[in-house]
Amino acid sequence: MFDQLLKEACTGEVTPELALNILEDSLHPENALKLFSVASEMRDRHIGRELWWSAAINGITPCRIEPRCSYCLYADHGTMREDALIKAIRALDELGFRHLHLSGGANLEGYDEEIVSMVDAMRAVSDIDIEVNLGPSLSRETVRKLKGLKVSSITSSLETVNEELFRATKPGDSLEKRKELLEICEAEGMPTRSMMLVGLGESNSDRIRQLFYLKSFKSFQTLRFSRFSPVPSTLLQDHPRCSPWEVARTIAVARLIMPDIQIGLANGNSHDDIPLWFMAGGGNQLLGGSVGRMKARIHSGARVTPVTEDLTITDHMELQERYAQCMGLQITTLPPGRSMPPEVF
């Protein structure tokens, strides 16, 4: 029966009903292995097997969501200075990164002036591909300005499309505004990204509904998966940790639904989740380094380099290269579409 479901997914239209049946029946390892094989073949055929590096600069703006999300303990360091951002992006350039995820806390009143000024300052020194993630903090005019500054994409992290669950766990946030940002980007021709938080309390049907909602946007190109991990001193500190098996199966079904998108790992996952992520059809972006103001978790093979008095780069490329080599894979510094090194500014 499961083989027939996979055959239908490969030869015909993947409907929500078919996707839900595959997700539920893949609970059993013997079925999941078949699903992973099909999802990996789809990934290989549509976006290839070669992995590529991305970097991140985190915490560029404080979170102004009140009350705070029940699973988050976001540290408020204030808005990052532009001179610090410039030092950070130059340091990432020197390490060879050509793709950057720029993220910070959200503000329902908007961070329009702040993000335009930051990206403008960064563009003066680097042509690195920049993605922006500040939650639902951007107006239509700001989306247009960021497009003019050649921002690669804008993220609207939905976490879940279960409205009741969203309100219960994110009472100060707005699912409507996050959806509206996706709609604005679609209308303005700006590529988009989003995130799904697995293990928050959503059902399998909720996950499938979220995947098909995102598929409806022509501008949608990247989905990252967070694995719920309880944070001490938050309201959900006793909520159970999400199994990597749940994330992997959902990744594989996402690949069946959207064969040509980038599928990455986000918060709650570790470097040790990379093999299962790839096996399940994930790919092809790896977070090789990040700049932040919080004390980094140091893993074997990590290098920590000061950028300013309160900023450091944590570089995991050596560790991830070793993992990739163990799977017979290669990692490039160039994101899709990049064919030559950038000009020197």
CATH code for position 270 = 3.20.20.70
- The average confidence (pLDDT) of the chain is 93
Would the CA dihedral through 99, 103, 109, 115 be positive or negative? negative
Please, is 313 exposed, middle or buried when counting C-beta atoms within 10 Å of its C-beta (0-12, 13-18, 19+)? buried
- For residues 36-45, average pLDDT: 98
pLDDT value at residue 343? 41
Asked if the structure places residue 343 within a domain, the reply is no
20 or 345: whose pLDDT is higher? 20
Asked if the structure places residue 236 within a domain, the reply is yes
pLDDT value at residue 344? 32
Which residues, at least 6 apart from 253, have a Cβ–Cβ distance to it below 8 Å? 19, 22, 23, 26, 35, 39, 207, 208, 211
Q: What is the pLDDT of residues 245-279, one digit of tens each?
A: 999 999 999 999 999 999 999 999 999 999 999 99
Asked if the structure places residue 342 within a domain, the reply is no
Asked if the structure places residue 337 within a domain, the reply is no
CB distance 345 to 123 below 8 Å: no
If pLDDT is split at 50, 70 and 90, which confidence band does 302 have? confident
Asked if the structure places residue 338 within a domain, the reply is no
Q: Which amino acid is at 134?
A: L
Dist CA 130 CA 61 (whole Å): 16
Q: What are the backbone dihedrals phi and psi of residue 136, each rounded to the nearest 5 degrees, phi first? A: -85, 50
Asked if the structure places residue 339 within a domain, the reply is no
Q: Which domain holds residue 42?
A: 2-332
pLDDT value at residue 334? 73
CB distance 252 to 42 below 8 Å: no
Asked if the structure places residue 288 within a domain, the reply is yes
- For residues 135-158, average pLDDT: 97
Q: Domains in the chain: how many in total?
A: 1
* pLDDT tops 60 at residue 47: yes
Asked if the structure places residue 197 within a domain, the reply is yes
- For residues 155-164, average pLDDT: 98
Bridge partners, 314 (sequence order): 290, 304
